[in-house]
Chains A and B, each alone.
Chain A
């Protein structure tokens, strides 16, 4: 009997060690963001001055705005394309459908350096697109909309399509059916895909780095350029804010889901 209780304990220790491995570096970043050390790499007493510096740093503000705009546009366009495509892939049967599905997978499985370099050569050597917002946003849509397709398609497969048929049978036009019946039912899937794509686009460094050109510094590119000169304490504050925002975002999603569940069961 004693042996049986040993197994969970060993597993617990292993699990805690794994969590420490995953968290220790981030916790250090958070701790050092409040440290007086000017390299941001050891503890020399509490200060908030790096946060003040962050708040007054114009470069960071510009980069943040740029990243937010890019991620915002990417989320809207990719989710729209994802919804329409998933609907088409689910409803229609045609020759070459499997080929199309595999092709849509390609931007997801290709390494970022491949997508980034191929798009860079394509933009600069073939269509002469100016590097900056246009090239970055197109690149983000290219790797984000396939993701939206498969997230939404996955939800569609566990979906009650009888409502849509009923609406059509009762004489609603396809457009009206989509706006009044199918769309609202798909809303959770659409929200889920938007919620995944936003951080995906916001946090992308590699592809953006390739196609950004000079002067279009997004937040990850700013962080990268700072790391090249050796770490600065400001990076610690950005990291801390990243973790905080992620946590708050996840808590918000969790509680919205919980509320949604309790209101639908009531």
Chain B
């Protein structure tokens, strides 16, 4: 059957042409980002993965002998505890952000009225003003010679300044202060998009406000809570500036260890191993988020 053979041949050719066009298109549109990802994300990660199995000499030079020391120091030793503490602080921050963020988001969505835009404006502005200066501003407020302590001493409530800085409380407060706006906005968006008639139906069917909130409103705004949690939790785990400024050398997080090893000590192998572990932690979190909340939620949150 020569005719059929001919047809399948031309079909195969068409398929081939299509495939070639696809390859061409991928090269045209996606090569820049592929170069960025391969050269400037994967290659640097591979380098620090390699370095994390090496040793550091007394003057910060790299000694090319293979060792598991650095990884063992994290998995078994005190560094591991710092990692667990970072995750714990991030969970705590996330929880507190929901606790503080939900009421204000709810108020703006339900009772904001004409002032909605103003409220949202007042929440966004601090979150977009210099991160570093905001943290410094908070430090000015709560420091030993800070405004709160000076004020309390002047009116005679206390005689000695309260030590707020360099405590767990200070770090948690600063984390919440820094990331709260990123929790409020997605929750607000979810609440604002809520169909009022569903809520009315719940009331008409005899639900108490309490029950209505927990059975209808809260489940329907789950997307907002998830988006907010992604925006708050992920950056908090690897935070460096907050523990650096508010924890000093007393309260350390994983990010402070990495920064310390690279910028203060100059021990590249140890720093690399800590960075790799931190990256692995985040990849695990990313995986769990995609699995649990879906890729859509993650990309939408951005």
Give the contacting residue for B103; candidates A11, A41, A110, A147; CB below 8 A: A11
CB pair B279 A15 closer than 8 Å: no
CB-nearest residue of chain B relative to A29?
Answer: B137
CB < 8 Å neighbour of B209 from A7, A110, A118, A223:
A7
Most B CB within 10 A of own CB, among A24, A42, A118 = A118
Residue among B28, B37, B41 with most chain A CB within 10 A: B41
Among B43, B119, B238, point to the contact of A114 (Cβ < 8 A).
B238
B164 in the interface (beta carbon within 8 A): no
CB of B47 within 8 A of chain A? Answer: yes
| Residue A164 interfacial (CB < 8 Å) | no
Q: Is A104 in contact with chain B by the CB < 8 A criterion?
A: yes
Contact present for A15 and B103 (CB under 8 Å) = yes
In the complex formed, the residue of B with least CB distance to A98 is B295
B98 touches A (CB below 8 Å):
no
Contacting residues, chain B, for A23 (C-beta < 8 A): 122, 126
Chain A residues touching B, range: 35 or more
Is there a chain A Cβ closer than 8 Å to B12's Cβ? no
For residue A74, CB closer than 8 A to chain B, the reply is no
Q: Contact between B37 and A29 (Cβ–Cβ < 8 Å)?
A: no
Asked if B133 contacts A238 (CB within 8 A), the reply is yes
Evaluate contact between A104 and B48: CB separation under 8 angstroms. Answer: no
B189 sits at the interface (CB 8 A) = no
Q: Check if A136 is an interface residue, CB within 8 A of chain B.
A: no
**B272 lies within 8 A of chain A by Cβ:** yes
A205 to B119, CA, bound (A): 28
Decide: A108 near B302, CB < 8 A? Known: A22-B180, A227-B136: yes
Output the least CB separation between A40 and chain B (Å): 8
B268 at the interface (CB under 8 A from A): yes
Q: Are A242 and B275 in contact (CB under 8 A)?
A: no
Task: State in angstroms the CA–CA spacing of A23 and B290 once bound together.
Answer: 34
Q: Which chain A residues (207-266) contact chain B, with CB distance < 8 Å?
A: 209-210, 220, 223-224, 227, 231, 235, 238-239, 242-243, 246-247, 250, 254
Residues of A within 8 A of B275 (CB): 113-114, 117-118
Identify which of B3-11, B68-76, B257-265 touches chain A. B257-265
Instruction: Contact check, B133 vs A105: say whether CB atoms are below 8 A apart.
Output: no
A250 with B125: in contact, given A8-B107, A81-B32 (CB under 8 Å)?
yes
The B contact surface, by secondary structure, is helix
Q: Does B134 contact A (CB under 8 A)?
A: yes
Quick check: which of B140-148, B193-201, B218-226 contacts chain A, the rest being far away?
A: B140-148
- A224 and B111 contacting across the interface, CB-CB below 8 Å: no
* Residues on B with beta carbons closer than 8 Å to the beta carbon of A235: 133, 136
The reply to whether A117 and B140 contact each other, CB–CB distance below 8 Å, is: no
Q: Which residues of B contact A119 (CB under 8 A)?
A: 40, 44
Known: A111-B238, A250-B121, A250-B125. A25 touches B137 (CB 8 A): yes
Do A205 and B134 form a contact, CB below 8 Å, given A89-B30, A113-B278? no
A25 to B268 CA separation, bound complex (whole angstroms):
37
Chain B residues closer than 8 Å to A110, beta-carbon distance: 238, 279, 282
Asked whether any CB of chain B lies closer than 8 Å to the CB of A203, the reply is: yes
A64 to B140, CA, bound (A): 24
Q: How far apart sit A21 and B147, CA to CA, in the bound complex (Å)?
A: 14
Residue in A15, A109, A223, A239 whose CB lies within 8 Å of B107 = A15
Q: List 29 A-B contacts (CB under 8 A).
A: A8-B110, A11-B104, A11-B106, A18-B184, A22-B123, A25-B141, A26-B126, A41-B146, A41-B147, A84-B30, A88-B30, A92-B25, A100-B37, A103-B41, A111-B258, A112-B255, A113-B255, A114-B238, A118-B279, A119-B44, A122-B44, A122-B47, A125-B51, A125-B268, A138-B40, A145-B32, A150-B302, A227-B132, A227-B245
Closest 7 CB pairs between A and B? A111-B238, A88-B29, A25-B137, A118-B44, A122-B44, A239-B133, A11-B107
- On A, residues with C-beta under 8 Å from B are 7-8, 11-12, 14-15, 18-19, 21-26, 28-29, 32, 41-42, 81, 84-85, 87-89, 91-92, 94, 98, 100-114, 117-122, 125-126, 138, 141-142, 145-147, 149-151, 153-154, 199, 203, 205-206, 209-210, 220, 223-224, 227, 231, 235, 238-239, 242-243, 246-247, 250, 254
